[in-house]
Amino acid sequence: MAPGVGERSCRVCRRKADKKALLRLVIREGNRIEADPGQTAPGRGWYLCRTEQCLSILNNPKMLRKVFGRPIQAGTAVIGNAQ
C-alpha cells in the first residue's frame, strides 16, 4: 500500500493510524452523531482513536461541540459501538 493510503487522523489527539483501527463517526439529522462500523455511510465522517481518552468526548457535550464545531448529541449506539 502506498504511504498515506487508508490512513486517517483522530479528531481528538491528531494521531495518525490505519482507518480500520479508528472509529468512524457521521452526523445525522438533528446533529446526532452515529458510529459507522462499516465505514461506508454517506456524508462527512470523522475518526476517533479507540482509546479511553479520545472516546471520553462522547460523554461530554462541551467537548463534542469543540471537536466537531457545532452542538452534537451522542446516542447510546455510538457509545456502544465504541467499545
By DSSP bridging, strand 45-48 and strand 16-18 are unpaired
Task: Give the whole-angstrom CA distance, residue 56 versus residue 39.
Answer: 21
pLDDT of 10 over the 70 cut: yes
Q: Look up residue 10 and give its three cell numbers.
A: 483522530
| pLDDT computed for residue 43 by the predictor | 81
pLDDT of 77 over the 70 cut: no
| pLDDT computed for residue 59 by the predictor | 84
pLDDT of 24 over the 90 cut: yes
Cβ proximity of 57 and 12 under 8 Å: yes
pLDDT of 16 over the 70 cut: yes
For the chain, domains (ranges, CATH) are: 7-81 (3.30.1230.10)
pLDDT of 79 over the 80 cut: no
By DSSP bridging, strand 16-18 and strand 7-9 are antiparallel
| pLDDT computed for residue 1 by the predictor | 47
